Amino acid sequence: MRKKIFLFVFVNAVCGLITAAFAQTAPRAIDQHGALSVQHNIIVDKNGVPPQLRGISMSWSIWAGKKYYNNNVVDWLVDDFKISVLRASMAVQPDGGYLQQPEEQLQLITQTIDKAVERGIYVLIDWHDHNAEKHLSESKAFFAQMAKRYAGKPNVIYEIWNEPEHQSWPVIKQYAIEVINEIRKYDADNLIIVGSTKWDQEVDVTAKDPITGYKNIAYSFHFYASDPNHQDRLRSKAEKAMKKGLPLFVTEWGVGESNGDGVFDLKKTETWFNWMETHKLSWANWNITDKKETTALLQPGASVNANWTKEELTPAGIYIREQLRKFNNPQKSSETQSNN
């Protein structure tokens, strides 16, 4: 009997070591894809193929989402959700944002970016602003600082204007060119993402007059899967833009409606999800917060240190986690949540 017990313990110990060794040697996103670039009007990795990064957007770095900007959350999203990209959404204009508290916001954002780089995933530095043209000098100073800090780190992607609300494309374009020039003084290569009119929806308008003269420039496209106004017509806009040669990155999308709340229509969400897979578009899902709304991935009161149970996830959180684990970690797609 003692021999059987000893053998059982020994076998389990060996299996544990093998599992741990496999986890340590599993390829990181940055090792798999390397530096991103725009080639032949699409975003590609070091191998010349679309990387199709899939991940999560943090919430505004103020309000309910602020408390989740910590290393434990980044680790959990990498290890449990299996993300390959994280979006750090730095609040700019609202009370407590970058315009009022630049040093506090800078510390919060850079800590998150540094952790993402350390973990080998990609990270979007998101100037989370709806009126960025009014804050051009602040934006240029911020992105100059980011470019100096992260030049040579291919994980880092600069998203220079979250969602223009009502501004015309010429206004957005002029703002973008000035910020791009500032970034390129210090970082000649890393991917830069530019916004488009009407909350990054009218990419077909942008495609008629894209920014030229710079390399590795792409454009954000946003949608909310269950919104009745974000269906075939919006997909058609994106398809027209891509056919015209505009490289797209879905830097924000949610399972609910455009106000962040509303219904979670699984059928419409699946249609959008399959559409992104078909076009091999990289994406970040909105959002890590415990605010009581449809697109929040966490239930109110969910631990600020991650290690979330299924009960701490919303229906959106459960769905997105399952999709990420299935598509970013296919070798373990057969695992069930009960094993975690």
163, 182, 202, 293: the active-site residue: 163
Q: Which residues of 245-276 are buried (b: 16+ CB within 10 A; e: fewer)?
A: ebbbbbbbbbbbbbebbbebbeebbeebbebb
Q: What is each CA distance from 72 to 79, 274, 329, 340, in whole angstroms?
A: 10, 31, 20, 17
Say how far apart CA 232 and CA 217 lie, in whole Å: 26
- Count other Cβ atoms within 10 Å, centred on residue 22: 10
Give yes or no: 252 in active site. Answer: yes
Q: What are phi and psi of 252, to 5 degrees?
A: -155, 130
Q: Is 159 a catalytic residue?
A: no
* Three-state SS letters, 279-292: HCCCEEEEEECCCC
Look at the block and give the residue holding tokens 């680790």.
75
Catalytic residue among 159, 252, 257, 293: 252
Contact 200/221 with Cβ under 8 angstroms? yes
Residue numbers annotated as active site? 163, 252
